[in-house]
Amino acid sequence: MKYINTFVFLSLLLLICSCGQKQTESLPILGKKKIVEGIEVDHQIPDWTFLNQDSLPVTNKDLADVVYVSDFFFRSCPTICPKTMREMKRVYTEFKDNPQVKLVSFTIDPKRDTPSKLKQYASNLQVNVNKWWFLQGDKEETYDLALDYFNTAYEDEDVPGGFNHSGKLILTDKNGHIRSFSEGTDPEETPKLINDIKTLLKEYNTNEK
């Protein structure tokens, strides 16, 4: 009996040690792979162009040198948005002084959320729009793009606020690959997302050395 205990103890010890020795971890590339001309390719965010809060066009290419966290929301949202935005702001605050991280919020109510209204929203959220973009674009294009970012968004008269949508925070890398996500409505998931951002940044920083 005693031997078994020792055995269990030793194997556990071995397990812990070997875990500790794992090399720098790397995040998986998420999303469904596609077959293009017979070759399997990873899911990638398609090219997009939206207007920012200063009515200037911006594209995904403008984000090629940073990793970014995005969500889909609308200003007058009575349901999940304030919570999701609170979690976005936690990420914002954590990486406030790190130029390698940006945040991007897409409105799913482009008719009412004009760039100037979004600018006001950002100011009321007390965040810097150079670091956290608030984007408006074509409605259908936004709903399509939401799917690429693992979110759903559509108009629905039967839900409060008139839009049905999910509140995932999505981490995208410099190549447009999604690397991690969290549920914006669950504050307990945010620390893991923050951690994953740090892991991703480490990947880039060690590769560049």
Partner 1 sequence: MKSNLYLLFFALLFIALHSCDDKTYSQGERLYLAHCGNCHMEDGKGLAKLIPPLAGSDYLKLNPDKIPCILRHGQKGEIVVNGVQYNQIMPGEQYTEIQINNMINYINTAWGNDYPVTTITATKKRLELCNQ
Distance CA 46, CA 68 (A): 15
CA 206 to each of CA 26, 45, 200, 202, 203: distance values in angstroms, whole numbers, following the listed order: 11, 24, 10, 6, 5
Q: Does 83 bind partner 1 (CB under 8 A)?
A: yes
| Amino acid, res. 91 | V
Name which of 92 and 106 has its Cβ closer to partner 1: 92
Q: Does 121 bind partner 1 (CB under 8 A)?
A: yes
Stretch in the footprint of partner 1 (CB under 8 A) among 52-60, 73-81, 107-115, 138-146: 73-81
Among candidate residues 154, 191, 145, 152, the one with its CA nearest the CA of residue 172: 145
Name which of 66 and 118 has its Cβ closer to partner 1: 118
CB-CB contact of 81 with 167 (8 Å):
yes
Q: Does 131 bind partner 1 (CB under 8 A)?
A: no
Q: Does 78 bind partner 1 (CB under 8 A)?
A: yes
Q: Which of 29, 51, 80, 129 binds partner 1 (CB under 8 A)?
A: 80
Q: Which of 30, 125, 129, 201 binds partner 1 (CB under 8 A)?
A: 125
Name which of 91 and 145 has its Cβ closer to partner 1: 91
Query: For the packed helices 190-208 and 81-94, what is the interaxial angle rounded to 10 degrees?
Result: 40
Q: Does 198 bind partner 1 (CB under 8 A)?
A: no
CA 176 to each of CA 4, 46, 73, 149, 154: distance values in angstroms, whole numbers, following the listed order: 51, 8, 21, 10, 23
The residues of the shown chain that bind partner 1, judged by CB under 8 A, are 76, 78-80, 82-83, 85-86, 89, 121, 123-126, 160
